[in-house]
A and B are shown apart, each in its own frame.
Chain A
Amino acid sequence: MKTQRNTLRLLALTLLTLLLSATVSAQTLKLPPHEKVVLKNGLTLLLMEKHGVPIISISAIVKAGAAADPAGQEGLASITAGLLRKGTRNRTAQQFSTDLDYIGATFSAGAQDDYTAVNAEFLAKDLARGLELFSDALLHPIFPKDETDKLLAQSLDEIKTAKDSPGSVIFEYYKGYLLPNHPYGRPEGGTEISLKKIQRESVLKFYETHYAPGNMILAVAGDFNAGEMRKKIEQDLAVWSARQVSPSTIPAPEPAKGRRLLLVNKVDATQTYFAIGNLGTAVTDPDRVTTRVVNLLFGGQFTSMLNEALRVESGLTYGAESFFDAHKMPGPFAIFSYTRNETTTKAIDLALQVLDKLHKEGVSTEKLASAKTYIKGQFPPEIETSTQLASLIARNEFYGLTDDEVNQLEAKLDAVTPEMVRQAIQKHFPGDDLVFVLVGKASEISPAVKKYAPKQDSLDITEPGFWPPPAKN
């Protein structure tokens, strides 16, 4: 393959695209019409008709995610989400799966930092059954003890197997090392230690605290009639009684000062994976369109400054990129790449030079124009399906963003000036204060990477948890 969208890249693209997503008329992007209703029990309902393919997509957001995990019980929001389908008042886990699979439907639930996303999709002809299954999982989970234990054990194995692939865990180390004292620094999936402290009672409590109609956004997009759908959902979900929920608050994280470096040893590594950066931006940052343009040029597209330097011109790596993992509060920004053990410092030096070049030289007007055209040209397929649209409107609602994110995208891009670019670079892209995280073969690379930071930390990938190392009792 010419290029690969790895885990980090996917994450970054998802975040960046969702930030700006929409649908499309011939010349200007415009979201298809959709309606918003707040039901009596407090549930925010968003409905968007999208015909053509007989699919219905549901995207629900519960306004509490991994950042709401109690300290020491990282992974609780994920486990709670994962258990929704594992036994309800009406079905065992097995029955739920059988009924779901029988209509070829899908159901998934998982915790991100700011919220929990619960998604379902089914054919339009199966609307009644699909919706009933979705609400059964959301409203009536009973969290059976045996299923809880089973999922906890599986999640432990999931962490272990992820550690066999450095690319899939480096970001867990990176965000922990960047934000050791902030909820955004914790692993959403938990650690080998924290999962052992989660019990059925804590799951029940998390569900009761956060899963309530007033704390939820439900977006439905696809092949249906909005009026009928609204009635149907009111019937199915109105039984869910209103409940007082105190919204979860997240403190503002602090950027790292100075330089520090964490080396995670993986004895059989033939390549070093590295992430470098500092704190980035929030989803609703006023400069978000400009920052997106700059990041595209710096490390977001194939011909970005980073990919040109590390891949195209030098052949040091299969890919180099940068991304903002934006949340309600500012989240991490990172430069990410990998290269063979012997060229570790060569690649990192080059990445730092490119960052320096961004600050010193900025981007040319020609490149600026190219980036605007690229974003406009690549945007329509990101809002082509009901899945994409349901997820987009739910997320916009959660972050308090309006349809202008889409409808005004072209105008906002056109309005980006070189001066705005200059300011965004200065404000949002790190300078000398940098956090480095490397996953690689310590015995081969450790001496050479000492030059990057006065403060150095290290651990082995086989040690439980990520960073900071979890307390063991």
Chain B
Amino acid sequence: MNKIWFRTILLLLFSAPCFSLPAGAQQYPVATRTLKNGMKILVQSDHSIPNVALYVFYRIGSRNERPGTTGLSHFFEHMMFNGAKKYGPGDLDKVMEANGGANNAYTNRDVTVYQDWFPRSALNLIFDIEADRIRDLNFDPKKIESERGVVASERRSRVDAENTGILNEQLWATAFLAHPYQWPVVGWMSDIEHWTIDDLKNHFAMGYSPSNATMVIVGDVSPEEVFALCEKYIASIPSHAPPPPVTTIEPEQMGERRIVVRKPAELPLLDVAYHVPKRSSPDFYTLNILRTVLFQGESSRLYSRLVDKDQIAFSVEDNMISGFDPGLEEISIQPKQGVDPQICEKELYEELQRVARELITDTELQKAKNIRLSEFYQQIRTINGRANTIGTYEVFFGDYTKLFDAANNYSAVTREDVQRVAKMYLSPNNRTVATLIPETPENQEKAKQ
């Protein structure tokens, strides 16, 4: 229940596990080609269903934004569906659906990803649509205004109407002082209200060069036909400079930070976060094993203690979100009714200290590895899952073949490694704590006076 922006897909990615890459991934090789404009294409044929998943990853997200225009990447994502030269406002969805296809997209701090799911009969059409909007996107002022309302509604439903959304947003804003990961992907409401058509045009010019994108196609296709379509529709789209590098490095945190959110609510909430390294860090796999031991499944240490044994919490969950730059390991605890969140906090810290002090057991280590293996199979069992996994490794680890190393990387993790990363990252000085305290409206009025 953490980052809703990531919920559908990136939850899987960010814990991307994989082992001896059996069936699914290896039995279907990946063919690659880089077009002359710089866009890289990855194709995996799988004829088990007559469908295709096509994902385009653009290396642009909220980390490329500035104060005043936060949320622009996400808003832009919406505008990519609102009309280009050949397919005008509303046409994209109508034509795609009439041909049996569906689409969606997601934006996070690092990337904007466009997804098409369609029967193979629509393959040509999808390329025509994708090329049209990459080459000739249009901005209709009327559409900008109505889409602004849509995004504002999206923000209200994910933040205003979800306590987890409110608390999480403020947690990130507190944990990061300098780096652009500090603002919400959807943007602050006042920025949503003030983006201009020029902001959108600048964003397109900055982030949407073909050379800044990677396309992954998995399903009932052959690499040859896909490459031919890419040459026909995409290769001639001119490339330009990629977004300027994000040079800001978050300074090391030098002590615990705490914030409180007071609002009407049935139950309190507690979020605790620790800075963790970027995705491609060698510690990524060890951190995933550590997280699994602590939080995953009802036999995990934190669930066993807080929810099951001491019964002070209703749920304990974690999520590790890091990308091109160092991110956060977030722990979200829902205290039970009548329990002071500080009691949950105390028990959490005791467990984090224990895992830094004593080695985990061999059984725990093996269990964590088994869970990761199982999850891997879950990810690669559909054409959509594989398109997303292949793209994620290509974009965040620089090479999709790293997918095949992940196996060894997980099996190599030792109990000592787990203890080392626990000590290194889960320390009090590296911690940000956000607590939501339920308030009655009467109290809230008083507090304002």
Contact = CB atoms under 8 A, between A and B. Distances in A.
A154 B314 contact: yes
Interface string B303-343: 01001100100100000000000000000001011000000
Interface stretch (A51-59, A68-76, A195-203, A211-219): A51-59
B297 A101 contact: yes
Contacts of B296: 101
A470 interface: no
Contact of A100 (B263, B299, B373): B299
B102 A267 contact: no
A340 interface: yes
A380 B98 contact: no
B261 to A, nearest CB: 12
A1 B153 contact: no
Interface string B101-124: 111111100000000011101100
A5 B81 CA distance: 18
B308 A93 contact: yes
A182 interface: no
B5 A1 contact: yes
B390 to A, nearest CB: 16
Interface stretch (A135-143, A277-285, A370-378): A370-378
Interface string B87-109: 00010011001111111111100
A316 B156 CA distance: 12
B377 A53 contact: yes
Nearest to B82: A312
A384 B49 contact: yes
Given A54-B22, A104-B370, A316 B149 contact: yes
B281 interface: no
Contacts of B380: 53
Nearest to A52: B23
Interface string A261-303: 0000001111101000000000000000000000000000111
B429 interface: no
Q: Which of B153, B154, B263, B373 has the most CB of A within 10 A?
A: B153
Interface in B214-266: 263-266
Contact of B381 (A55, A269, A370): A55
A123 B154 contact: no
B283 interface: no
A377 B297 contact: no
A384 B383 contact: yes
Contacts of A27: 50
Nearest to A27: B50
A125 B175 CA distance: 43
Interface stretch (B56-64, B158-166, B195-203): B158-166
Given A1-B107, A102-B370, A104-B371, A156 B97 contact: no
B345 interface: no
A11 interface: no
Interface in A327-379: 338-340, 369-370, 373-374, 376-378
A268 B377 contact: no
A161 B381 contact: no
Nearest to B147: A315
Nearest to A6: B157
B298 interface: yes
A163 B266 contact: yes
A164 B163 contact: yes
B101 to A, nearest CB: 6
A94 B334 contact: no
Contacts, number: 216
A340 B152 contact: yes
Nearest to B53: A381
Interface in B157-213: 157-158, 160-163
Interface residues of A, number: 72
A192 to B, nearest CB: 10
A55 B307 CA distance: 30
Contacts of A370: 94, 97-98
Given A98-B299, A104-B371, A377 B49 contact: no
Contacts of B148: 315
Given A52-B24, A105-B374, A315 B100 contact: no
Contact of A1 (B93, B106, B162, B377): B106
Contact of A2 (B23, B104, B363): B104
B347 to A, nearest CB: 17
B138 interface: no
B229 to A, nearest CB: 18
A315 B97 contact: no
B312 to A, nearest CB: 11
B128 interface: no
B138 to A, nearest CB: 16
A433 interface: no
A248 interface: no
A378 B102 contact: yes
Given A102-B366, A164-B266, A384-B49, A373 B337 contact: no
A3 interface: yes
Interface string A291-323: 000000000011100001001111111100000
B24 A314 contact: no
Choose among A52, A94, A317, A380 the residue with the greatest number of B CB atoms under 10 Å from its CB: A380
A272 B411 CA distance: 50
Given A98-B299, A101-B371, A378-B102, A157 B97 contact: no
* B: interface residue count bin: 35 or more
B78 interface: yes
A459 interface: no
Contact of A24 (B49, B118, B145, B163): B49
A385 interface: yes
Interface string A88-99: 000001100110
A101 to B, nearest CB: 4
Interface in B348-378: 363, 366-367, 370-375, 377-378
B242 to A, nearest CB: 24
Contacts of B297: 97, 100-101
A167 interface: yes
B311 to A, nearest CB: 6
Interface string A47-66: 00000111100000000000
Interface string B414-428: 000000000000000
Contact of A381 (B105, B366, B382): B382
Given A55-B377, A167-B161, A101 B367 contact: yes
A190 interface: no
Contacts of A158: 314
B449 interface: no
Contacts of A376: 100, 119
Contacts of A4: 154, 157-158
Given A160-B337, A267-B441, A303-B94, A312 B266 contact: no
B267 interface: yes
A142 B391 CA distance: 47
A161 B334 contact: yes
B34 interface: no
A377 B154 contact: no
A315 B382 contact: no
Contacts of A245: none
A2 B146 contact: no
Given A2-B105, A270-B161, A311-B150, 7 more contacts: A1-B5, A5-B8, A52-B48, A53-B381, A103-B370, A302-B102, A317-B150
4 closest A-B pairs by beta carbon, nearest first, are: A377-B100, A315-B149, A104-B374, A315-B146
20 contacts: A26-B50, A54-B22, A94-B304, A98-B299, A101-B299, A123-B377, A150-B308, A150-B311, A157-B334, A161-B267, A268-B160, A270-B156, A273-B161, A313-B146, A316-B149, A318-B154, A338-B157, A377-B118, A384-B49, A384-B381
Interface of B: 5, 8, 22-24, 48-51, 74, 77-78, 81, 90, 93-94, 97-107, 117-119, 121-122, 145-154, 156-158, 160-163, 263-267, 296-300, 304, 307-308, 311, 314, 334, 336-337, 363, 366-367, 370-375, 377-378, 380-384, 441
